[in-house]
Structure 1
């Protein structure tokens, strides 16, 4: 059932998910879905948690064999790749968590990978959370605009516009800001 819900989210968007649409996808009765989840919010919470686990797997895998600024760059590229591959699930996991406890437990891989890369780049434990949040906010801004299609028309009208290059600038700025903070 959860995989079918993810298919619907991927196809139609997180906000379009309803118990009725899921029942239709499964060719089942809506009432039978309540044998598996309490309500739509419960289902959406499960989708958020699974999306965060999947992102954590991607980020942890990207961190392997990297350290320092190079590791932060690898994590940044993993985040973008995840969002491009699963734009609707990425949008779901960047909403306020429905089941905070389960969501944050699912986020441990991503948090740990970021903490390890941050420390190896010289960030102190005292400023690690602030720097991690600032880094994510910068990356998320670009990634969210990209997957929403905001840059689509811009790249078509300007042959010199390379979104990969723009993203590298975003990473450079965010990592440089974090590194500068580490040196103070």
Structure 2
């Protein structure tokens, strides 16, 4: 069978070729090390990295991946992407030239998992923004000190159905963590919060 040039291959075909090459290298190295290292030496091939036509970069890891490290890395990437407001298309371009970066679909799946988990811990509620009375009832009178009247009126004027998270639920979630990290001081009974968005959703 004729082998197509890499430029004419789909990404899935290129990935299969990379895995096939990695398997051959892994098999050959077992014989190659015999003439280089002592028989008592344990030589382990952890990964290989190569490029095709100076464009497509591949990194193949051998052996099981540490799931804890993998999850930590994915969450760090999700945080960096969100804080930097990096679009999915831009991240795909970065991941295409940097083999050490997780694939975009893995990052997207981790973001969904984080969102689902947070939605379980801090519930999202719907509120009808067409009337102040309904808004006051939904938020609760004991939380009125957390709102700016001008912001509330602006929200009522421009929105129909909105969503919100209870400040109580947020505090119940973050206070134990802050206590564990010794951020809170018993001498200071005031907690200062800054609630902001990512520039796209607030």
Please classify the TM superposition score into its range, dividing by the shorter chain length: under 0.3
Instruction: Tell me which protein shows more strand as a share of its residues.
Output: 2
Highest relative contact order (Cα 8 Å, sep 6+), 1 or 2? 1
State the structure with more CA Rg.
2
Instruction: Tell me which protein shows more helix as a share of its residues.
Output: 1
Q: TM-score with structure 1 length normalisation?
A: 0.25
